[in-house]
Structure 1
Amino acid sequence: MHYDQSWMGYGIVGGWEAGALSALAGLLLFGLFHWVGRRSGWSYGPQIGWSFLLAMLLTVSGDLWDLFYFNYARLQSLQLLKAKLAQVHDPDGIGTRVLCELLGVTAGIYVGWLLCRRRHGDRRPD
């Protein structure tokens, strides 16, 4: 799903911005699933898994699909390629943006996990 990326920069700057947005989404979703999971008796595994999956669907899926599409789709004409590229924000930096989004989701969930473990006093080694 694409979200409005018109405000983002280009290249590595746009990648950092997309990664920060993905990290925030991962952190908030982990907080939500941690809240639900503590009341339902879930361990950290389902909390991390569901928050990772949903954060990926919300923030990374559009750019990841574009990256896949431009590498493997059979674009029959130059006009079709131009039309598809015109719909993508910063097609030159799409790989950087996808990488930063993936790392951002992972970092956001990790920070949320650390905060929740510290808050609830769960200090046992896993």
Structure 2
Amino acid sequence: MNLPLHLGALGSLEAGLIALLIAMLAFAGWNAIGSRQQWPVGRIIALACLTGIVIGAGWDTWNLFYLGMVRLESPLYARLAIAGIHDVQNLGGRVLMEWVGALAGGATGWLLFSKKEGFESPAQSSENTSSEP
């Protein structure tokens, strides 16, 4: 995201909430497309979560991957890599909160925006299918 948020745990929480909102809006968009195409709900939730992760957590996830996998043999390269990252000390926690927020946003979007008419509990469905004499 690379937004100028707070540092530390508060910044990680803010980034997670932003990813949650992005995934909820993505669910609303994918639900509009998927309901016309008659997609299963699982596909819509997965696409919303993936969209939330890519948009909400993509940049910080890439920075975490880059710092862990690329050899920063020179102090100059290390300084250049770290200079573009907001809150380097809490990058791992920030990425974790963004991923959790995006996944929770997909589920929350499903709870808020999906049509509730076709859903019933397993107990209700077993009562409807049982044939009594």
Does TM-score exceed 0.5, indicating one fold? yes
User: SS of the residue aligned with 1:89?
Assistant: coil
**Corresponding residue pairs, total:** 122
Question: Is 1:122 aligned with 2:122?
Answer: no
Consecutive unaligned residues of structure 2, counting only runs of 5 or more, are: 123-133
Partner of 1:93: 90
Partner of 1:71: 68
Question: Where in structure 2 are the equivalents of 1:14-25 lying within 5 Å?
Answer: 14-25=11-22
User: SS of the residue aligned with 1:88?
Assistant: coil
Q: CA deviation at 1:116?
A: 3.1
Partner of 1:5: 3
Q: CA deviation at 1:4?
A: 4.0
Partner of 1:81: 78
Q: CA deviation at 1:121?
A: 2.3
Say which of 12, 37, 51 aligns to 1:40: 37
Q: Which of 1 and 2 has greater Rg?
A: 2
Consecutive unaligned residues of structure 1, counting only runs of 5 or more, are: none
Q: CA deviation at 1:23?
A: 0.2
Hey, what's the Cα distance between the residues in 1 that align with 2:55 and 2:103?
14
RMSD of Structure 2 on Structure 1 (CA): 1.5
Q: Runs of at least 4 residues of structure 1 off by over 4 A?
A: none
Say which of 27, 30, 54 aligns to 1:30: 27
Question: Is 1:54 aligned with 2:59?
Answer: no
Identity %: 30
Hey, what's the Cα distance between the residues in 2 that align with 1:73 and 1:21?
28
Q: Deviations over 1:43-71 (max 9, x none)?
A: 11211121122221111111111111111
Query: If the length of structure 2 is used for normalisation, what is the TM-score?
Result: 0.85
User: SS of the residue aligned with 2:57?
Assistant: helix
Hey, what's the Cα distance between the residues in 1 that align with 2:32 and 2:24?
12
Q: CA deviation at 1:122?
A: 3.0
